[in-house]
Amino acid sequence: MSDRYGSDVLSGDWKLPPRGRSREVEAETGLVVEDVETGWCGAVVRVEKAGGMRVVHLEDRRGRTKGFPMGPGFLLDGAPVVLTPPTAAARAQLEQAKAAASRTASGSRAVHGATARVASGSRIFVEGRHDAELVEKVWGADLRIEGVVVEMLDGVDDLVAAIADFQPGPGRRMGVLVDHLLPGTKEHRVVQDAARGPYAAHVRILGHPYVDVWQSVRPERLGLTQWPVIPRGQSWKHGICAHLGWAHDDQADIARAWKQILGTVRSYADLEPTLLASVEELIDFVTEAQADSVTDPRR
């Protein structure tokens, strides 16, 4: 007589999923799994040996941590898996990720858990929105730690007036980043006039040779070997968009083009060295200890 109910479902190791349904998954840090027996769900935070066996520690959404024997008995996205120790390759990738996380986009050592400092009296000024967004993306974390605000000038034609309006002084330094700063250009003449003003000791004006800050992004990030040369008399940004096959009918198209370019920038390594040097020097200038050595009543 056959057994109409089949074998005992509780016999054997019930936590081990049937053959063909389970798969092995490396217990990499951050992997979120659920323990079948207890229902504990959490992310892998570490794997260690304890009492002759491997234990995987899971941290739940409340920050509580619990250890479980490595092996079968886990669910990943609802499917049964067998957790295995991470391989050497996975550990190497994890170490690389940790190293990257310890650095900001500018290459500086990250200060985890630090809050932004109250804004200092010193400022860095850039020509326009695109310059400000690029500086924020690469140096934003550093500037917040230092309490340095980036402001926009809307061009440098009235740089002398902008400096006079800011009134730089001890503890109130002014750094200025200028596009297309080359001998013989309009920008060069404006900067020369500004450098002779009464606030010169507390102002530093630096720049880069590129027509626009777009050009400070390495062309390889856009699949180019070099930025195209746009004929005189044609809008440079419109010409770049046309070369890349992007829409450029109105300002909204130009804004979308810049967002696409900015999106290719991951860190300082994606920018030209000339821009890097100028921005780094401006940050040093406005954050030097002697800049804050005198208390300014306007701060």
Give yes or no: residues 61 and 160 share one domain. no
pLDDT of residue 48: 87
Predicted confidence band of residue 208 (pLDDT cuts 50, 70, 90): very high
Q: Which residue would you say has higher pLDDT here, 59 or 163?
A: 163
Give yes or no: residues 136 and 273 share one domain. yes
The CATH number linked to 53 is 2.30.30
Predicted confidence band of residue 3 (pLDDT cuts 50, 70, 90): low
In the chain, how many domains are there? 2
Give yes or no: residues 198 and 136 share one domain. yes
Q: Which residue would you say has higher pLDDT here, 77 or 204?
A: 204
Q: How many CB atoms lie within 10 A of CB 124?
A: 24
Residue 205 has pLDDT above 60, yes or no: yes
Give yes or no: residues 277 and 137 share one domain. yes
- Domain stops at, among 73, 92, 111: 92
Residue 42 has pLDDT above 60, yes or no: yes
Determine the structural domain holding residue 53 and report its residue range. 23-92
Distances in Å between the alpha carbon of 297 and those of 121, 153, 293? 10, 24, 13
3-state secondary structure 142-206: HHHHHCCEEEECCCCCCHHHHHHHHCCECCECEEEEECCCCCCCHHHHHHHHHHCCCCHHHEEEE
Residue 254 has pLDDT above 90, yes or no: yes
Element (H, E) at 3: none
Strand residue runs (E) in the chain: 23-26, 32-35, 41-50, 53-59, 65-69, 74-76, 79-84, 123-126, 149-152, 174-178, 203-207
Per-residue pLDDT averaged across 20-49, rounded? 86
Crossing angle of the two packed helices 159-166 and 186-195, in degrees rounded to 10: 30
